[in-house]
Structure 1
Amino acid sequence: MRKWKRVEGGDGPRFRSALAAHEADLLSSLVSSLLGMLDDRESSAPVDELAEITGIRTGNSVPPQDDTMKRLLPDFYRPATDHPAGSGPAESLNSALRSLHEPEIIDAKRTAAQRLLATVPPAGGKFELSEDDAQAWVSAVNDVRLALGTMLEIGPDGPDRLPHEHPMAGHLDVYQWLTVLQEYLVVSLMGGAR
């Protein structure tokens, strides 16, 4: 992957880069997997008859069981301290907020992922993004990084490297590549990389 180049134009900034064919394939595969996870979560929501009548969509009221999806769709509220009444009020609040807002959050994640897939060069090579496309890339790459980081159990302290024989060693390299791709694009969006 080449660094991003910001080019100012009459219709706003454009962001140019290039991906090798294997990088474009890898990114497309990861984002497609993310879409599959989001689709599975959405399809697991119970049917709400009131939603069918009112048109107000509702989603799952319970958090995901899978750690990766928990990271992508975290609780809305975490009490700063333990409440004397127990965790019931926080769970009730999270349940209501999740049911109301999870469909919109999944839609936003899906839209960003689909926009990335629509703009990634299928066989690699040079490409150019609008500012809206670049924002979608940042969002979709971030979601893939969150998912992959959860699978790799990456916390604030690393790991920076895994032993070569570790079954996830190659995945850490992919995580780090995604981090660089996202960082350079964010810097370019902020106007710093020219």
Structure 2
Amino acid sequence: MARRRNRAGVFESAPGGGAAITLDEVEISILRSLAVQLLELVGPGDAAGADDDPLAQLFAEGPSKPPDDPALARLFPDAYEDSEDASEFRRFTENDLRARKREDALSMIRVLDSGGPRLTLTPEDSRHWLGALNDLRLTLGTRLEVSDDEGSELFHLPDSDPRKPLVMAYLWLGGLQETLVETLMG
């Protein structure tokens, strides 16, 4: 069965192994705004270290404690149950994780700023978008306190509930993520 071309809001295969999607101006604006907010949440990184020795950058130590913000704690969870092991692991990995999350969000912004409504992602852009979409969903899900038990309640909120736009964004991002995965796997 042949796929329909140019379906709005659904990723499709693009030449060279990437993906393409048609988004309207509002959707582009929402995604861009969310990606910028993600950049602000993750933080700017260590700009002072840009000129440092690459070997020193490789061994730069990061934070040893989990973030206080629940969304950041979800994006940068402890890798070990033992707090000492978790602290050591975090010190040597969190800076790289933050850099990757920033690059994912920046890649999304670059593609969104390239002009639409038809956006074409390279295979590398697609990987960055998967990361950014996942991070955005984790962040929104944490802010909404989504869990397997509570999710169904959130999906039936009245329009007057102030959480409704965030729930709609959460669901929409999930749909984008799902069609991007399906496109790249298919």
Q: Give the TM bin, normalised by the shorter chain.
A: 0.7 to 0.9
1:14, CA displacement in angstroms?
2.9
1:149, CA displacement in angstroms?
0.6
Q: Which amino acid aligns with 1:143?
A: D
SS at 1:182's partner residue? helix
Question: Is the CA contact (8 Å cut-off) linking 2:107 and 2:129 kept in structure 1?
Answer: yes
Cα distance in 2 for residues equivalent to 1:100 and 1:172: 35
Match of 2:129 among 130, 133, 137: 137
Percent identity between matched residues is: 32
TM-score by length of 2: 0.84
Give the equivalent residue in structure 1 for 2:41: 37
Question: Is the CA contact (8 Å cut-off) linking 1:61 and 1:99 kept in structure 2?
Answer: yes
Cα distance in 2 for residues equivalent to 1:14 and 1:76: 32
Richer in helix (by share): 2
- Determine if the alignment matches structure 1 residue 160 to structure 2 residue 172: no
1:5, CA displacement in angstroms?
1.5
Q: Which amino acid aligns with 1:110?
A: R
- Determine if the alignment matches structure 1 residue 148 to structure 2 residue 147: no
SS at 1:95's partner residue? helix
User: In the superposition, relative to structure 1, how do residues 122 and 172 fare at CA in structure 2: closer, same or farther (>3 Å)?
Assistant: farther
1:97, CA displacement in angstroms?
0.6
CA displacement, residues 3-57 of structure 1 (integer Å, 9 cap, x when unaligned): 11113x4xx31311111101101101101111011116x57xxxxxxx9x94421
Give the equivalent residue in structure 2 for 1:84: none
Match of 1:113 among 105, 116, 129: 105
Match of 1:28 among 6, 29, 32: 32
Question: Is the CA contact (8 Å cut-off) linking 2:18 and 2:184 kept in structure 1?
Answer: no
Question: Is the CA contact (8 Å cut-off) linking 1:145 and 1:179 kept in structure 2?
Answer: yes
Cα distance in 1 for residues equivalent to 2:155 and 2:140: 14
Higher alpha-carbon deviation: 157-166 or 124-133: 157-166
Give the equivalent residue in structure 2 for 1:47: none
Larger Rg: 1
1:121, CA displacement in angstroms?
4.4
Cα distance in 2 for residues equivalent to 1:96 and 1:143: 23
TM-score by length of 1: 0.81
Give the equivalent residue in structure 2 for 1:87: none
User: In the superposition, relative to structure 1, how do residues 18 and 92 fare at CA in structure 2: closer, same or farther (>3 Å)?
Assistant: same
SS at 1:71's partner residue? helix
CA-based RMSD of the aligned residues comes to 2.2
Cα distance in 2 for residues equivalent to 1:162 and 1:121: 33
1:2, CA displacement in angstroms?
2.6
After superposing on structure 2, the runs of 4+ consecutive aligned residues of structure 1 that deviate more than 6 Å are none
Question: Is the CA contact (8 Å cut-off) linking 1:161 and 1:172 kept in structure 2?
Answer: no
Cα distance in 1 for residues equivalent to 2:123 and 2:114: 20
Question: Is the CA contact (8 Å cut-off) linking 1:77 and 1:93 kept in structure 2?
Answer: yes
Match of 1:181 among 151, 176, 180: 176
